[in-house]
Structures are given as C-alpha cells and as structure tokens.
Amino acid sequence: AAGVIQSPRHLIKEKRETATLKCYPIPRHDTVYWYQQGPGQDPQFLISFYEKMQSDKGSIPDRFSAQQFSDYHSELNMSSLELGDSALYFCASSLVRASEAFFGQGTRLTVV
C-alpha cells in the first residue's frame, strides 16, 4: 500500500540558508500534518492543513512557512536556518474524519 512519502530523506544546510521539505500524502488523504523531532525528544506539532487550507498551528517559528498544494502535497519552507533547527521532520496524512494518521519516514535536517 502507498505510504506517506517525504523528500529528501537527508538534508545538510549551512546556517542562514533555506531549506524546502516535501511531503506527499497517501492518495485520497486530505489532511497533512508536520512535526519536528529533536534528538531524543518527542515529536512537536508544527502545522496542519486540510483541503489546502491551514487548519491548525503549533510551535512553528516565524522563519518557517508551509502550504498544501492542489494535488495535496505539502511543502515546509525553512529560512534563516539555525543550528537548533537540526532535527527530524515528519509529515503525517489522514482523512479528516478518520482516527488514524500515517507518518512518513521523515527528513533528517542537519544545519552546520
């Protein structure tokens, strides 16, 4: 069965650079969620989208922005990267009425 696809799997950026993470949800899923997981930490909710509109917002820095496109894929844009942004970034997708969301394999971002 198709799963949530995230790209790239690994990304290395320098401080003050920008990064774009992509998420392709499971077909027919209309809701996408982004999470950030620091080393040894629990996943922290960043932002979510339903039907291409932002549905909820968590602890997402102002330097980050995200959107969901007409094909339901989502992109997380990160600017002025800081060392502390180094983390695993997970995307999850679900049908808004369903209970279960499925997570992708994550993108490991390393800022040097």
Partner 1 sequence: GESVGLHLPTLSVQEGDNSIINCAYSNSASDYFIWYKQESGKGPQFIIDIRSNMDKRQGQRVTVLLNKTVKHLSLQIAATQPGDSAVYFCAENRGGSNYKLTFGKGTLLTVNP
Residues that bind partner 1 (CB under 8 A): 4, 31, 33, 42-45, 48, 50, 55-56, 58, 90, 92, 94, 96-106, 108
Closest separation in Å from C-beta 45 to partner 1: 6
Task: CB nearer to partner 1: give 14 or 39.
Answer: 39
Supply the minimum distance, in Å, between the C-beta of residue 53 and partner 1.
11
CB-based contacts of 61, cutoff 8 Å, min separation 6: none
Neighbours of 31 (CB within 10 A): 22
Strands (E), 30-82: 31-37, 44-50, 53-57, 64-68, 74-78
| Closest CB to partner 1 among residues 18, 110 | 110
